[in-house]
Amino acid sequence: MTSKRSVIIVGGGISGLAAAWQLRGRAEVTVLESGPRVGGKLRTGTLAGVAVDEGAESVMALRPEAVDLAEAVGLGRALADPAPAPVTVWTRGALRPMPAGHVLGIPSDPAALADTGILSEEGLARLHQEPSRPAAPVTEDVAVSAYLAERIGREAVDRLVEPLLGGVYAGSTDALSLRSAMPGIAGIAERGGPLLPALHGRPRPTGSFVRGVEGGTGRLPLAVARASGARVLTGTTVRALERTPSGTWRVQAATADGPLLLSADAVILAVPAFAAAALLRPHAPVAHTDLAAIPYASTAVVTMAFARDRAGLGGLPSGNGFLVPPVDGHTVKAATFLSNKWRWQADAAPHLFLLRASIGRAGEEHLLDRPDRHLVRTALNDLHHAAGPIGEPLAARVSRWERGLPQYTVGHAARLARIREDIARLPGLEVCGAAYEGVGIAACVATGYAAAERVAQEAPAGVPGRAGG
Ligand SMILES: Cc1cc2nc3c(=O)[nH]c(=O)nc-3n(C[C@H](O)[C@H](O)[C@H](O)COP(=O)(O)OP(=O)(O)OC[C@H]3O[C@@H](n4cnc5c(N)ncnc54)[C@H](O)[C@@H]3O)c2cc1C
């Protein structure tokens, strides 16, 4: 009878926990997490006595991994759809709903845009020219804007695509990779030919694009950690990895009680790119360099609670919130009207109106240097201009996500290939997380599963398995 392999997972965010879940019953798993609790960017706190998500607040429903995982760990009945509402952008002085059927802001039916006022007459005219403009195949990775501005015009990129991508990556279309940030559009670009006709008539997904969890999306990592059966050590920061002559791994960690030394047959690094880069430096120089080169955007989430009966003259805002194109010069990049969007949140505090605003795109790290009260005031000012006066909040909370969102800049796919190749030389070592193949929770879960499977299928240390080492 062979004993189970031991696996150490560094990082107790959703990626690492998904890996732990995938290995349940097949390996002795220990998760080492530097923070006081697992979850990483999934964290539910409280504001005015109500549960509020401080980081991610919904999971993608168009791909199955996150929703299926939530169901598998017992949260199926807590999954909640948002109230139906169009994506709205705050631009050209008003809140303007986008017509349905856009692909990350690119309208599949330009005619439907005309009444929204999102684009000027010139912007609309430019958009309508797209199908007749020559479109040679794009042969290399380019910035999103480099391709799209040529196709649909700069104004459409600035007012339609930029706010949508900003909502996902907090990044800029001038830096984000077409291939990695918009793979579906990149496929069309690589074939050549006009873009809008290729999007028109595509089957539209039905139902909600995203789903939330009643009581907070932060419940998901806690449930996954519990259901995985893994040993979880919080307050444990991994400082170094060492490969033993027999091919196993020794992990050095720091805890409040002093240093901790652990050994395992395999290690999965489920930490942000900069943390993985530091740990891989002595073992995988190429991966180290490429991981260290992945930039991050820092954001702050300002959550506020208002008394419904003391709302300002304009009353309470309607809809689920709005996105903001940077071209209009406002600080807030998005706002979510939580009490409108999530039934469970309205029911939890019928006398309150809860909302959150996000501040900080790539390159705006300096905004996070401001004290909390400044960020609250900035968010309130922008909200008042966008949605009308809503009075002063009863309570506010600022959650800072320093280097919170990796930026898939031009060349990301090539960088990824080099990282994977370098790491493949090290048996018993895997990486997963938001830095690789998608920043959304569902994509993170998928990378965690894939890393776990590679570890599970590897030969035990000392037995010839993968090439190299
Ligand atoms: C404000 C914000 C809102 C978001 N909203 C959404 C959303 O609504 N929907 C969505 O799908 N996605 C959203 N995202 C993206 C998504 O939440 C993240 O990409 C995802 O949760 C990242 O998971 P992860 O496990 O890869 O990384 P993380 O969550 O960063 O987890 C990594 C963990 O590793 C730990 N760690 C780091 N170094 C070490 C070390 N040396 N030793 C031990 N532990 C270490 C960290 O403490 C952390 O807990 C949002 C992100 C942010 C920042």
C-beta of residue 95 within 8 angstroms of C-beta of residue 88:
yes
What are the structural domains of the chain? Answer: 5-41+215-294+408-457 (3.50.50.60), 96-199 (1.10.3110.10), 296-406 (3.90.660.20)
Q: How many Å lie between the centroid of ligand 1 and the Cα of residue 58? A: 13
Q: Which atom of ligand 1 is nearest to the CA of 38?
A: 49
Ligand 1 pocket check: which of 41, 359, 367 to mutate, most ligand atoms within 8 Å of Cβ?
A: 41
C-beta of residue 204 within 8 angstroms of C-beta of residue 164:
no
- Helix runs in 39-161, H state only: 65-72, 121-128, 144-152, 154-156
- What is the 8-class DSSP label of residue 158? I
C-beta of residue 58 within 8 angstroms of C-beta of residue 37:
no
Q: Which helix (H) or strand (E) holds 32?
A: strand 27-32
Q: Which atom of ligand 1 is nearest to the CA of 443?
A: 11
Q: How many Å lie between the centroid of ligand 1 and the Cα of residue 380? A: 27
CB of 252 sitting under 6 A from ligand 1: no
Start-to-end CA span in the chain (Å): 27
Query: CA-CA distance, 29 to 239, in Å (whole number)?
Result: 19
Residue nearest to atom 3 of ligand 1 (CA): 56
CB of 10 sitting under 6 A from ligand 1: yes
C-beta of residue 326 within 8 angstroms of C-beta of residue 162:
yes
CB of 32 sitting under 6 A from ligand 1: yes
Max Cα-Cα span within the chain: 74
Q: Which atom of ligand 1 is nearest to the CA of 32?
A: 43
Q: How many Å lie between the centroid of ligand 1 and the Cα of residue 312? A: 36
Q: How many Å lie between the centroid of ligand 1 and the Cα of residue 353? A: 27
- Helix runs in 203-308, H state only: 219-228, 273-280, 285-292
CB of 416 sitting under 6 A from ligand 1: no
Query: CA-CA distance, 352 to 241, in Å (whole number)?
Result: 49
- What is the 8-class DSSP label of residue 327? G
Ligand 1 pocket check: which of 271, 274, 407 to mutate, most ligand atoms within 8 Å of Cβ?
A: 271
CB of 386 sitting under 6 A from ligand 1: no
CB of 446 sitting under 6 A from ligand 1: no
Encoded amino acid at 269, one letter: L
Task: Please tell me whether residue 318 adopts helix, strand or coil conformation.
Answer: coil
Q: Which atom of ligand 1 is nearest to the CA of 217?
A: 8
Q: How many Å lie between the centroid of ligand 1 and the Cα of residue 396? A: 23
- What is the 8-class DSSP label of residue 143? B
Query: CA-CA distance, 20 to 379, in Å (whole number)?
Result: 38
For residue 141, which of 187, 80, 110 has the smallest C-alpha distance?
187
Query: CA-CA distance, 51 to 49, in Å (whole number)?
Result: 7
Residue nearest to atom 22 of ligand 1 (CA): 434
Q: How many Å lie between the centroid of ligand 1 and the Cα of residue 156? A: 31
Angle (CA) 44-49-54 rounded to 5° is: 25
For residue 180, which of 257, 104, 246, 236 has the smallest C-alpha distance?
104
Residue nearest to atom 13 of ligand 1 (CA): 56
Residue 327, Cβ density class (10 Å: 0-12 exposed, 13-18 middle, ≥19 buried) = middle
Q: How many Å lie between the centroid of ligand 1 and the Cα of residue 144? A: 24
From first to last of the 469 residues of the chain, give the pLDDT tens digit: 567 899 999 999 999 999 999 999 999 999 999 999 999 999 999 999 999 999 999 999 989 999 999 999 999 999 999 999 988 999 999 999 998 878 889 988 888 898 899 999 999 999 999 999 999 999 999 999 999 999 999 999 999 999 998 888 999 999 999 999 999 999 999 999 999 999 887 766 677 889 999 999 999 999 999 999 999 999 999 999 999 999 999 999 999 999 999 999 999 999 999 999 999 999 999 999 999 999 999 999 999 999 998 766 567 899 999 999 999 999 999 999 999 999 999 999 999 999 999 999 999 999 999 999 999 999 999 999 999 988 899 999 999 999 999 999 999 999 999 999 999 999 999 999 999 999 999 999 999 999 999 999 986 665 544 433 3
Residue 466's pLDDT is: 42
Question: Residues 329-347, buried b or exposed e (16+ Cβ, 10 A)?
Answer: ebbbbbbbbbbbbbebbbe
Lookup result for tokens 């031991």: 6
Strands of the sheet containing 296-307, edge to edge, are 94-97, 88-91, 321-323, 332-336, 352-359, 296-307, 395-406
- What is the 8-class DSSP label of residue 440? S
CB of 12 sitting under 6 A from ligand 1: yes
Taking CA atoms, 375 is separated from 276, 331, 360, 382, 436, in Å, by 31, 10, 10, 11, 31
Question: Residues 296-315, buried b or exposed e (16+ Cβ, 10 A)?
Answer: bbbbbbbbbbbeeeebeeee
CB of 57 sitting under 6 A from ligand 1: yes
Angle (CA) 58-63-69 rounded to 5° is: 65
Q: How many Å lie between the centroid of ligand 1 and the Cα of residue 400? A: 12
Lookup result for tokens 């909640």: 80
CB of 437 sitting under 6 A from ligand 1: no
CB of 11 sitting under 6 A from ligand 1: yes
C-beta of residue 445 within 8 angstroms of C-beta of residue 66:
yes
CB of 59 sitting under 6 A from ligand 1: yes
Residue 313's pLDDT is: 58
Task: Please tell me whether residue 259 adopts helix, strand or coil conformation.
Answer: strand
CB of 271 sitting under 6 A from ligand 1: yes
Task: Please tell me whether residue 60 adopts helix, strand or coil conformation.
Answer: strand
Query: CA-CA distance, 219 to 134, in Å (whole number)?
Result: 50
Q: Which atom of ligand 1 is nearest to the CA of 11?
A: 34
Q: How many Å lie between the centroid of ligand 1 and the Cα of residue 269? A: 13
Q: How many Å lie between the centroid of ligand 1 and the Cα of residue 21? A: 17
Query: CA-CA distance, 200 to 203, in Å (whole number)?
Result: 9
Query: CA-CA distance, 352 to 338, in Å (whole number)?
Result: 10
